[in-house]
A = this chain, B = another copy of it.
């Protein structure tokens, strides 16, 4: 299992025992999450924008929903920090001080460039679409040349990155275990409801298997909600 070199930017300074530098474990976090938070600097100010993304080998593709502001800052590329976080649990300790969360987060640093080549952009959009709903790309109407032009995609080599993971029960001070206070973890998970059609389906069109049986990679437990999740919110 290869490791990322530890740089000044990627060294986990606080609670370094939670640090993860193995490429494989970091990619598992990137592959499971759905939304990344992209940080960049514009006019000397930090911005953090949530957006969709996908990974192909050692490259991250970022959907350009925020790209116009990002790209205005530098035509030859923009320095990004891309962070992905999975929340696994709330950690209730006996002391306020030792409360925590169980999580897996990945941080990728690098200079992103706009994908301009039409074929590469098409491939990148495929990666992003398949990241969100594996199996979807082959079913949908492919992008036209005009649509490709209207879509901004950034590419970023994953060469400088680190992850941070906390799991398990609270760690209380030894004397606090004598207190009559409940300590433990409240598990947190993301689940997916039954597909809700948009009311404009042609006759006999059924929800695809990948929507009916949707789950994220690495999700060992069936994450379908039972009973069926109401569509509203």
Interface residues of A (CB under 8 A from B): 8-9, 13-15, 34-35, 37-41, 43-50, 52, 65-66, 68-69, 79-83, 85, 87-88, 90, 92-97, 99, 101, 103, 105, 107, 109, 125-126, 129, 132-133, 136-137, 139-144, 147, 150-151, 167, 169-170, 172, 176-202, 204-208, 211, 214, 220-221, 225-227, 229-231, 233
Stoichiometry, as copies per complex, reads 2
Q: A198-B185, A201-B183 are in contact. Are A211 and B107 (CB under 8 A)?
A: no
Q: Please, how many angstroms separate the alpha-carbon atoms of A188 and B33 in the complex?
A: 12
Are A37 and B48 in touch, CB under 8 angstroms? yes
Q: CB-CB < 8 A to A231: which residues of B?
A: 185, 187
Q: What chain B residues lie within 8 Å of A192 (beta carbons)? A: 90, 186-189
Q: List 20 A-B contacts (CB under 8 A).
A: A9-B47, A37-B37, A37-B48, A37-B50, A37-B85, A41-B44, A95-B142, A97-B150, A99-B129, A99-B133, A169-B196, A182-B195, A182-B201, A182-B208, A183-B198, A184-B198, A185-B198, A187-B196, A187-B231, A189-B233
How far, in whole Å, are A37 and B107 apart by their CA atoms in the complex?
11
